Amino acid sequence: MTFYEAALRVLEEATAPLHSEEITKRAIDKGLLSHVGKTPEVTMLSRLAAMARRTVGRRVMVTARDTFALTDWMLPEDAAALAQTGVAGTNPEEELPPYRPSERHPEPHAEYLRSIGRQADRKRRDDDRKKKFPPLPEVAFQLLEECKGALTPGELIARARTAELADDDLSVGALLDALAEDNQKRLDENRRPAFAAARAEGGELQVSIELSPPAEGGPSPAELMQTFCSAANLKFENGRVVLRADRARARVVEAEAPSGDEAALLQAARHATRDAKKAIARLLRRRLADFELGTFEKSCVRMLHALHFRELKVARRSKEGPLLTARKKDGSLELRYAVKLLKGNQPIERRHVQELKRDLSHLGANIGLVLSPGEARGEARGEAVAGSNLALLWCGDGLAEKFLEAHVGVKVATVELYEVDDAFFAQASKDAEEARLRREERQRDQGRPEAAASEGQAAPESAPASEGAAPAAAAAGAAAEGGESDEDGDDDEGGEGDEGPEAEGAAGPEGAAGEGRRRRRRRRRRRRGGQRPEGGPPGEAQAAEPGAAGESAPPAAPAAGDAPSPPPPAPSTPGAG
């Protein structure tokens, strides 16, 4: 690893400021440097001095001449020592005249002018692009450290704009949200918050940094975070801060949701489910960080199996954790993974990702994967996506979320949340309207022939029927039926019946109609051969036989003036006379 990375490792293990020579000696003794050189002390001092003078992403600071410490310790920095650190003495050879004079500048030509013009256009385009600013927590920490006191959010924004470290559109709410989010991230990593907030006598908000180390009996990190939130008018619920942006999004969701107690209860249930999932993820992460290497390895292997990783094998073991190889099918491809397990809550650095990428070529893997309960630093995240090889980082809460996704190491309790589906009822209303239109169209189609039939029947119904029309029609029908029966075959019995007293006594229209019905009954009996069903009256055989053509109604009862019809004569037997 480089001199700077080795120095960070030595300082993290020492937990106290060290001289540059002592840092170099410990790094060489532990074999951390990939290249030592002839003068490692000078190289180490120059690198640490350069990194201590950085304004963005600074990790080391100067507490005395050539003595360095980590910025996370929040120790007071000596500005005079920083100005003298790493300054080499004057070289007497620099005062000597040069061996040869400086070369003359080439004469300008048209080609040079064109190239200069193109460079100017390119520079103008680069200036027109939106400038990228460092993260707000780093800018605020640097400005508060320089002033060595407390500042109001307005003064902090003004200084950041003067130093061109913040956008002109930066607001006080965005600044306080960024500082609260940084404090919450440190709190999740079991570290003290970096920013503190308090109200002055006039009620004005003052923001400062926590430089003093934690004292025994002092406020806990959670209490410091709660004090910051109360001073900045931020909600602190269930051990977490509720940012203004989150509250604005919640208000938008509540405005879009239906009003009423049911909607409020549903929204509260959703928030409770999300907060419970985050709390379980943090608890699971702390448990994974406290496990021994063997328990942590077996837990991660089961989680990978649940996420459809196959053929997990140990390629190499070390004190930090084993290196595994695995396969996973993704779509039509089967990818090979190199999985690096890092135990404990140590942060993931750039060297871990670099070592894993070097192992990809040796193991023939396509993608690297780092599993660790510790949080990944910014340098490690940048190295993970740099270059041709890709490395995935399942670190911190991300590792716990993978355990939740795989349903490994946790017990899942299903909670059903119901909500009225407006789209379902809208579709039902649409289907009902379409059915009504189809019914109306069907009724219109069926009403056309009925209207034509009603028009044809309107004339006879409206005109009064004459008294002799109905008897004449009935007599004509009876005569026609009687002629048909005579033509069908033998009608000896029918002839005898016609000459009986029924024909003589039948007078008027009612007698003619009754005579016609009796003829039809006799004709049906002749067709059946004169047989009746046993034990049944004559009406049963008549009802069982299908009606003849032209019959539209069952025979009516005889009128009051008609004589009862005599029983039919018995069929004649040959040889009886």
pLDDT for 403 beyond 70: yes
Q: Report strand pairing: 67-70 vs 60-64.
A: antiparallel
The verdict on residue 45 lying in a domain is yes
Residue 376: its pLDDT value, please?
Answer: 87
Q: Which band of pLDDT confidence, cut at 50, 70 and 90, is reported for residue 246?
A: low
Report the range of poorest mean pLDDT among 272-281, 320-329, 361-370: 272-281
Report the SS3 class of residue 568.
Answer: coil
User: What is the average pLDDT across 83-95?
Assistant: 67
**C-beta separation of 60 from 11 below 8 A:** yes
Facing residues of 19 across strands? 67
pLDDT for 418 beyond 50: yes
The verdict on residue 365 lying in a domain is yes
The verdict on residue 411 lying in a domain is no
Per the structure block, which two tokens stand in for 218? 């002092």
Task: Tell me the helices (H) and strands (E) count for the chain, helix number first.
Answer: 21, 12
Q: Are residues 229 and 315 in the same domain?
A: no
Q: Are residues 336 and 237 in the same domain?
A: no
Per the structure block, which two tokens stand in for 214? 């934690």
pLDDT for 452 beyond 70: no
User: What is the average pLDDT across 193-212?
Assistant: 81
Please give the residue range of the domain that contains residue 16.
3-70
- Mean pLDDT, rounded, of the chain: 75
Report the range of poorest mean pLDDT among 40-49, 116-125, 564-573: 564-573
Tokens 């539209």 sit on residue: 552
More confident position, 539 or 147: 147
Q: CATH number of the domain at 149, please.
A: 1.10.10
pLDDT over 70 for what percent of the chain?
Answer: 68
Kind plus residue range of the DSSP H or E element containing 306: helix 293-306
User: What is the average pLDDT across 210-238?
Assistant: 77
pLDDT for 559 beyond 50: no
More confident position, 290 or 528: 290
Report the SS3 class of residue 563.
Answer: coil
C-alpha closest to that of 179 among 161, 196, 162, 204? 196
User: What is the average pLDDT across 142-156?
Assistant: 86
Q: Are residues 238 and 296 in the same domain?
A: no
Report the range of poorest mean pLDDT among 148-152, 210-214, 300-304: 210-214
**C-beta separation of 232 from 243 below 8 A:** no
DSSP assignment, residue 95? G
Query: Which residues does 548 contact at the CB level (< 8 Å), separation at least 6?
Result: 520, 523, 524
Query: Which residues does 481 contact at the CB level (< 8 Å), separation at least 6?
Result: 516, 519, 520, 550
Looking at 50, 70, 90, the residue that finishes a domain is 70
The verdict on residue 196 lying in a domain is yes
Backbone φ and ψ for 60, nearest 5 degrees, come out as -120, 155
Tokens 């509260």 sit on residue: 268
Q: Are residues 293 and 402 in the same domain?
A: yes
Residue 575: its pLDDT value, please?
Answer: 42
C-alpha closest to that of 238 among 206, 289, 283? 283
Q: Which band of pLDDT confidence, cut at 50, 70 and 90, is reported for residue 141?
A: confident
Q: Which band of pLDDT confidence, cut at 50, 70 and 90, is reported for residue 47?
A: confident
User: What is the average pLDDT across 424-440?
Assistant: 91
Instruction: Count how many domains the chain has.
Output: 3
pLDDT tens figures, 464-522: 444 444 444 444 444 444 444 444 444 444 444 444 444 444 445 556 677 888 888 88
C-alpha closest to that of 225 among 213, 214, 239, 238? 239
Query: Which residues does 492 contact at the CB level (< 8 Å), separation at least 6?
Result: none
Q: Which band of pLDDT confidence, cut at 50, 70 and 90, is reported for residue 328?
A: very high
Report the SS3 class of residue 247.
Answer: helix
Q: Are residues 315 and 401 in the same domain?
A: yes
More confident position, 544 or 254: 254
For the chain, the straight-line distance linking the first and the last C-alpha, in angstroms and rounded, comes to: 143
C-alpha closest to that of 242 among 229, 231, 255? 229
pLDDT for 92 beyond 60: yes
Q: Are residues 232 and 339 in the same domain?
A: no
Kind plus residue range of the DSSP H or E element containing 8: helix 3-14
Query: Which residues does 46 contact at the CB level (< 8 Å), separation at least 6?
Result: 86
Enumerate the H helices of 232-260 as residue ranges.
244-256
Strand order in the sheet with 323-330: 310-316, 323-330, 333-341, 367-372, 390-395
Residue 454: its pLDDT value, please?
Answer: 53
Residue 305: its pLDDT value, please?
Answer: 93
User: What is the average pLDDT across 520-545?
Assistant: 60
Residue 105: its pLDDT value, please?
Answer: 60
436 exposure class (CB count in 10 Å sphere: 0-12, 13-18, 19+): exposed
Q: Are residues 235 and 301 in the same domain?
A: no
Q: Are residues 231 and 303 in the same domain?
A: no
Looking at 345, 376, 406, the residue that finishes a domain is 406
Cα–Cα distance for residue pair 145/208, rounded to 1 Å: 9
Q: Are residues 311 and 369 in the same domain?
A: yes
Distance of CA 61 to the CA centre of its chain: 45
The verdict on residue 262 lying in a domain is no
The verdict on residue 560 lying in a domain is no
Report the SS3 class of residue 541.
Answer: helix
More confident position, 109 or 365: 365
Neighbours of 180 (CB within 10 A): 24
Q: CATH number of the domain at 326, please.
A: 3.40.1350.10
The verdict on residue 323 lying in a domain is yes
Report the range of poorest mean pLDDT among 48-52, 176-180, 464-468: 464-468
The verdict on residue 141 lying in a domain is yes
Q: Are residues 293 and 237 in the same domain?
A: no
Report the SS3 class of residue 330.
Answer: strand
Report the SS3 class of residue 313.
Answer: strand
Looking at 207, 225, 242, the residue that finishes a domain is 242
Highest mean pLDDT among 36-40, 212-216, 267-271, 326-330: 326-330
Residue 368: its pLDDT value, please?
Answer: 94
pLDDT for 463 beyond 80: no
Backbone φ and ψ for 30, nearest 5 degrees, come out as -85, -5
CA angle 503/508/514 to nearest 5° reads: 55
pLDDT for 394 beyond 90: yes
